[in-house]
Structure 1
Amino acid sequence: MIGLEFRFPAGTYHATPWGRHVNEAEVEWPPSPWRLLRSLVAAWHRYHLAPEYPETLLRDTILLLATESPVYALPLAVHAHSRHYMPAHGGTTTLVFDAFLRVARDAVLGVYWPSLSATDEQFDLLSKLAEVLGYLGRAESWVHVQAVRQATQKINCGPAGSQIAEVLSATEDVEPVQILAPVPPQLYAESVLAAPQQAAQGERGRRRGTAVSHLPRDIYEAIQVDTGSLHAEKRNLPVGARWAVYYRPMLHRAAPRTVLFTDDHGAEANVARLALTSRVKPRVEDALDVTEVLHVALVDKCGEGAPLLVTGREEDGSVSERGHEHLFLLPEDADEDGRIDHVVLYARVPFSPEVVRATQQIRRLYTPAWWPGPSREWAVYLEGMFSSASAPDDVTPLMGVSQVWESATPYLHPWHSKRNGRFGPKEQIAKELRLRGLPEPVRIEILEAVEIRGKLVPPHQFRRLRHTKRQHLPDMRGSYWRLEFDTPVHGPIALGSNCHFGMGLFKPVRLKAADRDAGS
């Protein structure tokens, strides 16, 4: 075994993952094998160690470490960030997020290569590099490092497919994460052959023949290519790098100041509210991205035999005809900035114990590997669970009371219209409300667009069809509506196709006193 053990004397670790913007406030954890090897090579150059440790020895040591995916012993870490307004041109300022992990100053991060054995010369070099390595990640991530031949910490993070990962993935408090790793040296030639095509694709059709001016001969050289050169060649990955999936303990997150709790830990609750805490939140138009991924996570957490409340299916696999008794996953833009910051889970019946446990266990949402769009990831936080009958008035506007409701997402009418034009969207809305036990509106008006981020957004700019199911719906385009009732009506109101995933969602409209008097 070969290992490196890190301590963080400042109690913080700062490192932005590859491909992520610093203002996304994400932290690379565990430190990727690619970052570790680059740091070792950089330390050799920075401290001019060539006279004592020749480059041939460094090359052999780096190639040795690249042959195996390391395992980790990760200490308890809390994700946090600070915000800074940095000076910019013209006397203005720009907001910059400094994301980091808070770890105990005496905690140890262990990185181990279990099957590798180093010669005395290689281990001496590793010990020297560990001694002079002052930081890992950004410069404020101070470290004290020691090379070891035996693990002193309990391993709790490993690559997918490994024995440790299989053990970890069977527990409830782990999550998968992608980190950058080197291609094994014996497979590097294949990676080099694929690299020109990869770079050409990055050029998006321009100057394809000149995208690659030089290819590193091996992993040792590939690790030393500077980031500026990679960007100049428009690469989305360095030559010789690959994404590796690891299973790690779930990160703790700094809790928001306002936390809503429930009586009896969710007993009789039929409403839950999840907050999206990631820096970059999804657009309202991409509501289905969030609700579909949340549904996948709920089914996964429930395991085999997930209840009807989650799946909408009976035990025999048939679609339930009990009248919308399964979960509604409703996206919410509470601060009206055009980004989804919450998801409300609502059911007409109380949550089962399985649903309560599954909801409490969800900490992060990931798009699956088969997702047709770009991979997405959001951190979530359970604010609380409530009974809709006793929930506080300010829990969420979607649970509010109003005489007028307007579309927040496109309504997709669920039935085909008649050839003579009858039974169109307006009649179908009225029918759905009757079937839900709600009063029929006194007025139903179509809206051309809804306002999002100060702009009028037509229905076709929303994603309206699910990725997790092939759909051929009576209404593929959608429409917006304004519903006016004779008396105030309680929410939530979500109608039409895909209403359980946030389509056809209505939000309450607060009327001014003059408007109420005019309508009465």
Structure 2
Amino acid sequence: MFALSFQFFAGKYHSTPWGRHVNEGVPEWPPSPWRILRAIIATWKLKVDAEEKDVRNLILSLLEPPVFYLPPATVGHTRHYMPWDKGDKKNWHASKTLIFDTFVAVPRESPVITVWENVSLDDRSLKLIKQIAENLSYFGRVESWCKAEVIEEGKLPSVLKELDSYFVSKPLAEEDVLSSSEEIVNVLCANEGIDPKISLDELDKKGNNKHPLLIRTSILRTQIKNLYPPMSRLVQYTRSLDCFEPSKISHVVDRKEKKVNVVRFLLDSNALPPVTESLKIADIARNTAISTYGGKSHKKTSVLSGKDDDGNILLSNMHTFYLPSDEDRDGKLDHLTLYAPGGYDEAHQLALAKMKKLYGYNLKNDVNLLLLGMFDLDQWSETRKIIPLSSSRTWKSFTPYILTRHPKVTRAGQWKIQGTPKNVEIKVPENCAPYATKEHLMLEYGVLPDLSGMQIDGPVSQLLFSIDRVGLPQPSSIEPIPAYEINGTMRQWLTFKRYRRGKQSPPSGNPYGFRLSFPEEVKGPVALGHGCHYGLGIFVPDNESR
């Protein structure tokens, strides 16, 4: 017993049965033994150094019609045009005909196994066929990439036993009875009466090969006037009626849903929005995300909206922070980072991946969104490159800090005073512009000029409360920043948009900027105060102060 296996890497076997036209769309299945013998000879001639006599003896040993073990398969085809009138060299490209390239689609991991039940090869022939099989790169038409292997006789029973959902196709003997689930298909095989003396290298007077297995199709049609080669025969093979029926395979996927809490976009526009419109861009991004997730059914999402099903504002801070950023420091917003401490499930990930464009009120130019990635905040190799999410000991305001409560005063209009924390240094900036004096600046930020106390719920007091509320360590120093810098020009925080359209205004619309220094590195994002989920109160690492 001898067996060969053919595994098709592309999952396709391209071949047309002998006597049929390619445009009939009929695939050859099982592969014809005649084609196997021709493939052996062709591989020997091109790639294997062996004696012609040894190859001829091998071929003569394999003339018996084999049994095929066929994997589950379906039929497919492609259509393309090819030049028809090749005799007219000048105009051949103008004449075209439609070609149907039909193929049998098989699983890439499931080989076709061919078994010659009554064949036993000697050691010399077995060594030769193994060498030829190793060098056979395709079988059928050239698109049918394959790997051929000799199955050792001792391993063959176990290999056949492990085959799942395979069909057996074998020659129909006179005494065999065809079952109701089978059909007959004619397969071209070699006649066992082939003259063993005809050399595989022997040519006739016209330079054509004399051996029947090597006669070209064009010679058959033009000179021999026959569809079938000499010394060939059609053998009736049994084949399952549903051998080309698609098999229904169900897979149970057991996997754990993976959440991410960072979604990153690049902003693209003819004119990118200025940093002063951070609140506006973040608010539009929020509305776009909610609309994309809700769809036509208007599904509610607390993760993106920051509200529960009854419309109450969430106080847990586990919902999304919309963080615009200017990462090339040209005064224009160029990135948008969405960060949700509670994470985004797969439904939210799919919705956010569909966000392609920001749309909403008073956008002067279209702002397109290019998705850069989704990952966890713990993926330091990715997040450390994102400015709002990086790590630093010193952070400065990128957008103004807005108070969440009214500063406390007495009935007489005097400040209610509290002491400054002992472990926090209140620094006075060198440059107090646009304020007239440093004393004026410190009073504006709710700190007594001699730094002996500060206003209850004043800017510095509320900043310390906000830092403690989000779980950040107490800063070692706080320094007011009266203005921000863009391209070497100092601008006031008042130039930033601080009010959301149609939403409740903050208790105090006065903007403030700060520089925070911590005793240890703090990992972003750092977003504090009123509107911190919508682009206000964003802090970025202060690289110049490191």
Query: What's the TM-score bracket when you normalise by the shorter of the two chains?
Result: 0.3 to 0.5
Larger helix fraction of residues: 1
Tell me which structure has the larger Cα radius of gyration.
2
Q: What TM-score results when the alignment is normalised by the length of structure 1?
A: 0.45
Q: What TM-score results when the alignment is normalised by the length of structure 2?
A: 0.43
